[in-house]
Structure formats: C-alpha cells, structure tokens
Structure 1
C-alpha cells in the first residue's frame, strides 16, 4: 500500500504544477474574489443601515446605478482587448522567433493579473448593480465607493498592461523574457557554492547498497503513456530505493520524450521489494518541455531565436546578436559553478538514485554548435561568438577550456571555407560584443 502522506504530497504537487501552468486560473480566481468582495461590502452596508457613507460622496441610487452599468459595460470591452493583444503577441512571436516561446507568453503573470483585475471589477459591478436597484432603504455607500476604487485600479492596470505589452512585442522583450527565466533556473539548479570552511567531515557516499546482486541491472517501471519528462520526485525516489535496498538509474534525461511502454529506470540490486507503481507516479510527464528543472530548455529557445533570425526571409543578424547576448549570460553563469553529480543519497549517505544531466561540454555545444553552423557567413554573428568565446576562456577554469577551444577552432575553419579574402576572414574572426561596433578593428 502506498504511503498516504506521500500520495497526498504527490497529488498536491501535481495540482500546484497544473494550476501554475494554466492561464485561466488567476482570472477565474479574481472573478470569484470580486463577487466575494461585493457580497462583503453589501453585508457591511446592510448592517450599518445604509448610512455608513454620505450620499454626497457616492451619489444617489440612480446615479450609482448608472455608473455601475457603465463600469460593467466597459469591463466587457477591456477583457477582449487583453485577449486580443495576447493573441497578437503570440502570433508574432511564433512567426518570427520560435513556437516554443508561446508558453512563456501565455504564462505571463502581468497579462493574467490584468485580465483578473478587469473580471473582478466586472463581477463586482454586476452584483453591486443588482443590489443597488433592490435596496429601497438607501445607497450601499461602501459598495459603490469600492466600485469607484476598482475602476481607478482598472484604469491604472490598463495603462501598465499596454506598456508591458508594447515592450513584449519588441524582439528584445521576448528574448529577455526567455533569458530571465533561464537565468533564474540556473541560479536555482546550479547555486554558487560558499567557500569551503573547516568542519566535520561529510559522510562517505556508497556507490551501491550492500546486496548480493549489485552487479545485476534490471529494467523496471515502464511508462504507461507517452510524454516528455518534466520533473522527477527525487525525494520519493530516494525513499523508495532505500526501502528496497537498491540503486535506481533513470533512463530518460530531463526533457526527453518517453514512449509508451519504454523503461524509466534501471535497477542495481534486488527488485522484489520495489513498488513499481509508486516509481511511475514519481515521474511526471508533460506535453512539452518546461523551464523548471530543465534550464537547458531556455538555452534551446534562445538558440532557436538566433538561428531563425539569421535564416531567410527574416535575415536579421542584429536580433541574433541580441539572443547570443543572453546565451552568453547563461554560459557565463555556468562557467565557474559546480555541476551536480546526479547522485542522490539517503540519510545514511548511500547513493540511491542516479540521474543524467548536461555537462559543461554539453551546454557549450547546445549553445554554440547550431549558431556557429548557421551564422558562419554572417560577420555580426561570427564576431559576437568570438567575443563570447574569448570572454569565457578568460573566466572558465583550465578543465573547461577544451570545449571552448573546439568551438573557436571549428568557427575559424567555417569562416575560412566561407570567405576567400584574408581581410574578410580576419574581420569576421575579430571579437566584437555588438557584432560590428565595439571590436578592436573599428574603435580607437
């Protein structure tokens, strides 16, 4: 029988992940909040005998009814406006940049809160208008005054939303949206380690549990339905492996597509005590990759934007340089940080779960291989990539220099195949953070 606490935690985690990934959650919650706020203010007005506020402040019953009717009609116009602007932004981003940027736009909290504010004001006005007409004893002053405040908040929210949307329509705005998400995930998954301090020795990890069949590998926990691996419940996996006295090795990597019936784990040790159903429930599959626990996906998006910007019919190398700027920022964060070993231990320090993750070489290839191949004939791109490599080589430790040397060597070979004149080759390989604008050959 599965542990009820673990089952509840798993269900709660899935519910939170589902709600966070849906655009409608905040607007619907604000809708009910608007109804609840109106009912609360009406109850206060009713308890005070409709004399809480003077009519000179909120107007007569007919005046309040007219204003609330106008507010409700205005909100029914603003809500479609938000949806229209969001749709236009998504279409432009899909056509010019990358279809994978759509999820980030749909999950934009500013759009969701703007729509939520308008729906809350609409619901408040509808409920208040009905009760204003039905109250012969007087005007519910607090309710009408709250409606005025919500209208002012909606006007401010509209101005801020239009400003935010206009910024999101810019290439830099969309690139920064992806870059900021990736930056936060790198900080979370690859934290800067504090300086080593003297202290008690750490417990020694054991590569395999004490069992008579440690060398035997079994494949267990086949996937029930296809999907992309988006999250692993590592705490639960470690607990299950410790209980069964074995080591679990994940077969798919974060972001991999898992086919129906394909294996999820290899096991070192006995599998008789493993709860395979619980193992499957500790693996979360989705319909697309997410930034959470998969910061390589953010770099994937930035590379797609850069590559599409270079290709026809867009031919916009300046946008590609802006995307490379954020790729550079991601690699610079990773250059000197410790990478996780992928080994997860139980309380006794024994390794129980082994996962695969990208190495420094993998991140460098993910970030630069396609850009280098697609942009070798574009001087802005080659100069910007040279500046990126030059900066990383000055920062990365000695053990991480070889992948950068490889990229520089391949870039130079590609440029030499593209150009025949030595001056063009030298210009294309000059480091320049602006593409063309800040290199040593164009500045004092």
Structure 2
C-alpha cells in the first residue's frame, strides 16, 4: 500500500470514535496487571509501612475496588446517555451532518476511555487478587484514576454545555473550514493559463468505479507514481464530494497504467467526509444558516452569526489562487490532471443558497451584503467579478421580494458601498500593473 494512502487510513482510524477509548481502556488493563505483579514482589513493602495512608486490609481493598468499579460503570452509562442527548440536540438545532464532528470530539472520547480504564483496572485487580493479597499500589492507582476521572467528568460537562451553544459550534466549524482551506491552498503553485494545453485531445481509456458512493479523497502521489512508471497520463474525473455509481468512469488514462492502483487512490465511502472535501466543509457551515432561516426556526441572529464567520473563511479563498490541477513529475513532464473546484464555485456554494434563503429578509440580506463588502477589501482583483455578480443577484432579489421602499433603499445603499469597495480592489490592481 502506498505510504500516503496508508497515512490517510491510519489518520481516519485514529480519529474514529472507538480508537482513543479502546486505547485508554487497554492501558487500564495493562496497568492493573503491572500493579498487581509489583505488589506481589513486596519490593515496596517498607515504603508502604512508612506511609500510613497506604495501609489497607485485604477486605477493605476488595470493597474499595468494587465500589470504584461499580461507580465507574454507572457514570460511564450516564456519559453515554448525555452524549446521545447532545447528538440529538445537535441534529435538531444545528444540523444532522455535524454529528460526525461531535463523534470526533476528543473530550468525549477521552471521558469514555478514562472511565473505562478506571473500571477495567479495578475489575482486573479484583480478578487477579489471591486470598490474603493486599494490593496497596493497585488500590492507590485505582484511587488516583477515580480522582482524575471525577475532575475530567466536570470538564466534560463544561465542554458538552459549550458545544450545544450554536455560536460556539459555528466558530468551531469555521476554524475547521479555515484549516481545510489553508491545507488546500498553502504552498501550492497556481494554475497557469497554459496548463490545460497538457490535456490530450484523443480519447483515453476509462477506468471505471467498482462501487457506488461519495468520493472522500483522491491521493495524488500514488497516481503520479503510476503514471510515471508507464510513461502515461491520467486525467481524473473523480474529485472529493462527487457521487459515483458502479461502472462510472473515475478517470481516463493514456498509456497502460495499473487500473487497480488508480482505483486504490480514490477513496469511496457511503457518506461524505470533511477530510479533503472543501465543499462539504462549506456545506456544514451553510447548513447552520439555512436551518436558522427555515420557517420552523426563523432565527435570523443565528444566521447572521454563521454568515459573519463564513465570510472570514471565504476571504481566505478570495485572497489566494486555486492550486494547479496539473501534476508534473520531477522532470517536468505532465502526468496527472486532478479536477479542483474553482474559486467561483467555492464562493457560489456558500453565497447562492444564502442569497436565496434570505430573499425578503431585510436584516439578513443587509448582513450578507456587508459580508461581501468585507471580502471585497481583501480579495484578489481577479476575483472581483465573482463578488460583483453576487451583488447584482442580491439587488435583483431585493427589487422582487422586498415590498417596502425604505427597506429596498437600505439594501441598495449597502450594495453601493460594497461595489465601491470592489472598485478600490480593481483600481489597486491597475496601480500595481502600472
């Protein structure tokens, strides 16, 4: 398996809901065996005699360990119940697709793992005890684990309470989106005007998908290696976020590359994932605003909060150029073409649904225009037409959907100010060119 492919699979395994709890629980089992074995060596018997608070009888040790094990199992069940309640609230109030981000929460995973480790440690020590054994170190470790579990449980409740607050969740999802944008656009060469000339005119051989589902990742390094080995060229049709059915072409190849290697470089799953799928990250944030603007909720202030945070993420995209879709080998020969989203598509993914949902909502429409005006202050001059187009569409919607002339004038004034900001960006580009 290619190292980059293996790294992606390992990263997803580590982020999974069961990895960290299972790891901590396993550590609890090993710790129980180690402490019982150490107690049986009597190496620290003199130390235990000098420390009176470590003195305990065999009956007292069994009773204490049983109490800790029972308490940890009770608290563990309550933590699971509370976590499920939080998931339900998130699905109803924030958005069902954000449930995956809740399962990725390390605080939840650590809480369950720590409680499980304390429970298993106490249980295994009870199982390993022989008649007359006094597991002083094992009991001390169990008490320490129970103490840490208590304070961590308090932090878990605090973290859970903060995560169900929609403003905090909006900010958190925006940080995730900005990280995804930074990973995609950092230190990547921008697409040159002649890059598409590398695409061959004659039809290539299709490499078809063997299963149906969403593309969650496309690994560049294995594709480049495969194309170079056969001195060929691969044009990928699949890109993260797209849905493919079995038999649909994932790529077209020129030469004789290994088709199995090409399929292995494309990860297909039953559901979309935020890793590598920038459009899905944008959808997660837009969904919060759309749900807030739905007739059943009608919470304009939540939509405004989501819109303000989203504008900061879109500004990162507008400040940079999109990486080149063309991948060349070390000798400069074109080998792979991977379709990437254009800037206008990424911005449109966010602004088109928001504009349609805010038709007739003057308060949110004004904030949408203000957000575009803020983005205009930092956008690249070549992206000015994208924002200008969205301002034109908002103006058309305002004329058609806002009956009050005063409200229409307010929206028109905001649009005029945003266009002035875009004009400054365009003039700045002209000055640099001179």
Aligned to 2:307: 324
Task: Give the match for residue 338 of structure 2.
Answer: 355
Give TM-score scaled by structure 2 length. 0.88
Q: Paired residue for 1:34?
A: 28
Find the aligned partners of 1:193 and 1:208 in 2 and give their Cα distance: 18
For residues 196 and 307 of structure 2, the distance between their equivalents in structure 1, rounded to whole angstroms, comes to: 42
Match for residue 232 of structure 1? Answer: 218
Change in 2 beyond 3 A, CA 1:305/1:351:
same
* Aligned position for 1:258: 244
Aligned counterpart in structure 2 of residue 183 of structure 1, from 178, 184, 197? 178
Q: Which secondary structure state, in structure 2, belongs to the residue aligned with residue 284 of structure 1?
A: strand
Q: CA deviation at 1:156?
A: 0.9
Of 126, 129, 133, the residue aligned with 2:126 is 129
- In the other structure, the counterpart of 2:66 is 69
* Cα contact 2:362–2:402 (8 A) shared by 1: no
Q: Distance in 1 between matches of 2:141 and 2:380?
A: 60
- Kindly indicate which of the two structures has a greater share of residues assigned to helix: 2
Q: Compute the RMSD of aligned alpha carbons.
A: 2.3
| Equivalent in the alignment of 1:416 | 399
**Given the superposition, is the C-alpha separation of residues 251 and 297 from structure 1 closer, same or farther in structure 2, using an over 3 Å criterion?**
same
State the shift of 1:383 in Å.
Answer: 1.4
Show CA shifts across 1:349-397 (max 9, x none): 1121111111111121111111111112212211111111111112112
- Establish whether residue 57 from structure 1 lines up as the match of residue 72 from structure 2: no
Cα deviation code 1:8-27 (max 9, x no counterpart)? 63773464144135312221
- For residues 206 and 319 of structure 1, the distance between their equivalents in structure 2, rounded to whole angstroms, comes to 42
Note if contact 1:208-1:246 (Cα within 8 Å) is conserved in structure 2.
Answer: no
Contact 1:125–1:147 (8 Å) recurs in 2: yes
Which among 159, 165, 172 is matched to residue 170 of structure 1? Answer: 165
Residue 50 (structure 1) shift? 6.1
TM-score between both structures, scaled by the size of structure 1: 0.86
CA spacing shift, 1:343–1:396, aligned 2, 3 Å = same
Distance 1:108 1:162, change over 3 A: same
CA drift of 1:158 comes to 0.2
1:275 aligns with 2:251: no
- Do the aligned partners of 1:207 and 1:351 also contact (CA within 8 Å) in 2? no
Once residues 71 and 3 of structure 2 are traced to their aligned partners in structure 1, the CA distance between those partners, rounded to angstroms, is: 43
Change (3 A) 1:220 1:193: closer
1:143 aligned residue (123, 138, 143): 138
For 1:422 and 1:110, the matched residues in 2 are separated by: 51
Q: Distance in 2 between matches of 1:360 and 1:87?
A: 38
- Which digits, 9 at most, give the CA deviation of each residue in 1:190-211, with x for residues without a partner? 12689xxxxxxxxx989659xx
| Structure-2 separation of matches of 1:390 and 1:47 | 73
Counterpart residue number, 1:376: 359
Shift of the 329–412 alpha-carbon distance from structure 1 to 2, 3 Å rule, reads same
1:399 to 348, 360, 382: 382
Runs of 5+ unmatched residues, structure 1:
1-6, 195-203, 433-444
CA contact (8 A) 2:188 2:324 kept: no
- The equivalent of 1:44 in structure 2 is 38
Distance 2:174 2:372 in 1: 19
Paired residues in the alignment total 408
* 1-structure distance, mates of 2:79, 2:102: 13
Q: What secondary structure sits across from 1:72 in the alignment?
A: helix
